[in-house]
Structures are given as structure tokens and as C-alpha cells.
Structure 1
Amino acid sequence: MLTAFEALSRGTRLVYSRGLRRYVFLPILVNLLVYAAMLSYVFGEFGGWVDSWMAMVPTWLNWLDWLIWPLFVVSLLVIVFFSFTLITHLIAAPFYGFLAARAEVELTGREPIDDRGWLKTGVDALGRELVKLGYILPRMIGLFIISWIPVLNLIAPLLWAAFTAWTMAITYLDYPMDNNKVSFTDMRKRLATRKWPSFTFGGLVTLVTWIPLANLFLIPGAVAGAVLMWDRHYRDLPALTQRR
């Protein structure tokens, strides 16, 4: 069975080959500008955010400051990471949809089951990103609330880690599935059916996205890697819902 690491490695080599590079460098440039702007803002506000959170800790838990402070910092870093990821993927979605389609031809020899033109593909990719946001944001807000609740916030980093891996799986595996007319609901059910490939791929992509600067060049490889994962793990699963 194809592993997440093998998929990411092969995908990264492919996207920088001739014929696919043109789908890679423009989103890298856009994402670099977004990262620079947002990091500048976060660095200026980060200390104040942590101090505000620590001020909410009850006095009877002061003896756990040594544990609560790093947990708050980790939770805040994950939240910031999520915000970066949502914004950059919303901007890059049309490019990644095209990249996934071309990667599928190169990797499998099959054209995606997609009769949309280039313009409609780009517009639909943005619409699909909004559908993802509608799924992710309420759950993200719920975890954010948990992160503020004393005692419960001690497990918040673990919940964020699991949720992040699941979200990354949804984000990237959706590109080839959307190109093959798999509905968003059906896509999530297929991922849930194959939990191990889904979480290992999503977890690996999460680790990649945390590598400063290098992540901008590795993320396109995750798109092509998702095509391989789709072909080996999810394509042959029966359709669970009709596409809307």
C-alpha cells in the first residue's frame, strides 16, 4: 500500500518537473506575500495574546503555571497556523485544482472525470474552498472555546493536533476528488472509511506546513501526493452520496 511519505515524496518530485512548474510558482509567490504580512502582525501581538490568556487562569491553578503557559503557547501557535492555512489555501485553490488535474494525468495516465472548462474549474475551486470553510470554522471555533476553559484547555493541544491532521487531509485530498466529481460529503465519508491513510497523510502535511519557508515549496508536492493517495486508497470506494 502506498504510504503518505511515499506519496508526498513522489508528488514533490513531480510538481517541479517540466510542464507542471507553471502551476506552482505563482501560488508560492502569493503565499509568500501573505505569510510575510501576517507574520509581521503576529510577532507584534503574540506576547499580548499570551499574557491575556494567562490572566484568565484561576488563582488556585497558579501552581500549574509551568504547564499551562506552554499549553497556551502551543494552542495559540496552532490557531495562528490554522488562520494562515485557511487564507493561503483560499487564494491558491484555483491553481491547486489545475495542478491536481495535470498531476493526475502524469501520475496515473487518466484524465479526471471533469468536463468543466478552465474558468469554471477555477470558480468552482473557490466555491469548494468556501464549503470547506463552512465545515472547518464551526469546529475550529469550538476548539478555540475549549482552549479558554480552565482544565479542559489542558487537552486542547491534543485535540488541535488531531483536528489539524484531519483538516489537512480534507484540504488536499479534496482537490483530486473534486476534479473527479466526488461530492464534499462523499469525500469526507471516504476519508473516514480509510482513517489510517487519511490521518497519516494529513499529519505529514501538517508537519510539512510547519517548516518555515520550505513549506511554501513543499505544499504543491502535497497536492500531487494527494492525487496518488486518491488513486490508491479512495478511488475504488463506492460512492456514498450523490454529488450536489
Structure 2
Amino acid sequence: MNAPLPRAARELGGFGYWLAGFRLMWQPGLRRFTLIPLAINVLLFALAGWLLLDHAGDWLEGLLPSWLDFLYWVLMPVLVLGLLLVTFFSFTLVANLIAAPFNAVLAARVEAHLTGRPPADSGKGMVTESVTAVAGEVGRLLYLAAWALPLVVLWFIPGLNLLAPFAWFAFSAWMMSLEYVDNPAGNHGLSFREQRRRLRQRPALTLGFGSLMTLMTMVPVANFLAMPVGVCGATKMWVEGFATRDDGSTG
């Protein structure tokens, strides 16, 4: 059983857990469970990269209002980063929806590796676990749709759309943590509402880990590894920072 990360590492905005995700995905006994999520991620992010290269230029030109043309070289990098963020964030959600059953299995194996025992709700059968995982993913997509609509509108308001990339980044960080923490939390039967409640109790840790995962999805090639890194890192973060022990405390 691996020793918990020191408290200082836990409070470094989730950085320690992000690094732990890299280490865990290559551990003997865990590597084979990362292969399917990894393959799904590679295929979808390759598609996202192709779409950006083929269509991004025309779309970005239309986002910048004519009265700000004199700031073209200052504002265009902000809009480019925003487009990368929205595109790769969207593809991350699709990838996680497709890979949900495999990510749940990976999270259960990582937790057993860390604690020496599997989650209490795991081992119910692949079909049951698949249905549960996909249902949870659909619930998160509905939550995303409800909160993302104002951010989408912001993109189409001249001037204010320059704030959209920053608003999207903060929202993406929150959603990334929710997305990956659901795998270990869902294995324990915790509702989406309860997961949100627990993550809100540790905002620095939650948003720090989510920010690193968001940035990772925006880096070519590195984003291929984002899903297994996120599942493994979030499982360790859940076990050490959010899972309720028998005495009712967390972490």
C-alpha cells in the first residue's frame, strides 16, 4: 500500500496528485487497465487537433470585433487559447462518456492498489457498473449544459467575449475535478450532489487539480495521457483528501 502524500504536497493546489497520476498509470498491475482509456483519448484528441487545424482560422477571425483590429496581435492569442480550451474540454467530456465503464474499473484497481482493498460497491458486474458509470456521466453533462449556457453566450458578445476564455478556464477546472473524482466516488455509490458538496469543502485542492488537468488537455501529445492520469490522480486525491473514514472525518 502506498503511503499518503505529505499534507504540504496535498495543499500545493493538487500538483502532487497530478504527478501521482503519471506514476500510478505505469504501475505493474495497473498498466493494462489504462490501455482502453488511453486509446479512446488518443483517437478523440487527434480528431480535435485536426478540426482545429482545419477550421480554427476562419472562426477566430469572426470573433474579434472590427473596432479592436488595432489590438489584433494582443487579443488574438487570448482567443486562440480560449478556442483550444473549449475544444479540448468538449472532447474530454465526450471521451470520458465513452470510456466511463473502463475508467470506473481503473479507479477501483487504483484504490485497491493504494489501500489494499477494493471499493465496497465495486465487483457488481461489468454490465451494472457500465450502466451506473454512463448514467453518472450523463448527469454531469446535464449539469454542464445548465452552467455552460451563459459562458457560451459570452463568446458572442463583442468586447465581453475577451473575458470568456478566463471564465471558461475557471469553469473547466471545476468540471475536470468533478469529472475525474466521480470515478472513485461513484465506485462508492456517492451521488453527484454529494461529490460536489465534498469538493466544495476543499476549493484550493479541487480547483488546483482541475486547473492542471485543464492545462494538460491543451498541450498536444500530453493531452493523449490526460484521461488515465486524471483517473489515477483523482483516485489518490479522493482516497487521501475526500473519502470519509469510519470516524466520519475526511482525508
TM-superposed deviation, 1:165: 0.8
TM-superposed deviation, 1:21: 1.6
Deviations 1:134-175 (A, max 9, x none): 111232232121122123223222211111111111111111
* Percent identity for Structure 1 against Structure 2: 38
Higher alpha-carbon deviation: 166-175 or 132-141: 132-141
TM-superposed deviation, 1:133: 0.6
> Does the Cα contact within 8 Å between 1:7 and 1:226 map onto a contact in 2?
yes
Structure 2 equivalent of residue 36 of structure 1: 46
Deviations 1:79-106 (A, max 9, x none): 1122211111111111111000010010
Structure 2 equivalent of residue 128 of structure 1: 136
Residue in structure 2 matching 1:106, options 104, 110, 113: 113
Normalised TM-score (structure 2): 0.86
Deviations 1:159-218 (A, max 9, x none): 111111111111111111111111100101111111111011111222222232233235
State the alpha-carbon separation in 1 of the partners of residues 90 and 21 from structure 2: 25
Structure 1 equivalent of residue 100 of structure 2: 93
Normalised TM-score (structure 1): 0.88
Structure 2 equivalent of residue 14 of structure 1: 24
State the alpha-carbon separation in 1 of the partners of residues 243 and 26 from structure 2: 25
Structure 1 equivalent of residue 202 of structure 2: 194
Runs of 5+ consecutive residues of structure 2 not aligned to the other structure: 1-6
Letter in 2 for 1:12: F
Higher alpha-carbon deviation: 87-96 or 177-186: 87-96
Runs of 5+ consecutive residues of structure 1 not aligned to the other structure: 240-244
State the alpha-carbon separation in 2 of the partners of residues 84 and 215 from structure 1: 11
Aligned 1:57-68 pairs, distance under 5 A: 57=65, 59=67, 61-68=68-75
> Does the Cα contact within 8 Å between 2:111 and 2:117 map onto a contact in 1?
yes
Secondary structure in structure 2 of the residue aligned to 1:24: helix
Letter in 1 for 2:112: V
Letter in 2 for 1:72: L
State the alpha-carbon separation in 2 of the partners of residues 158 and 38 from structure 1: 21
State the alpha-carbon separation in 2 of the partners of residues 209 and 36 from structure 1: 12
Structure 1 equivalent of residue 220 of structure 2: 212
TM-superposed deviation, 1:58: 5.4
Distance 1:46 1:111, change over 3 A: same
Aligned 1:216-235 pairs, distance under 5 A: 216-235=224-243
Deviations 1:202-243 (A, max 9, x none): 11222222232233235312212111111221113869xxxx
TM-superposed deviation, 1:66: 4.1
| Number of residues of Structure 1 aligned to a counterpart in Structure 2 | 236
State the alpha-carbon separation in 1 of the partners of residues 138 and 102 from structure 2: 16
> Does the Cα contact within 8 Å between 1:75 and 1:147 map onto a contact in 2?
no
Please give the root-mean-square deviation of Cα atoms over the aligned residues, in Å. Answer: 2.1
Structure 1 equivalent of residue 63 of structure 2: 53
State the alpha-carbon separation in 2 of the partners of residues 106 and 121 from structure 1: 19
Letter in 2 for 1:211: V
State the alpha-carbon separation in 2 of the partners of residues 53 and 208 from structure 1: 25
Distance 1:71 1:212, change over 3 A: closer
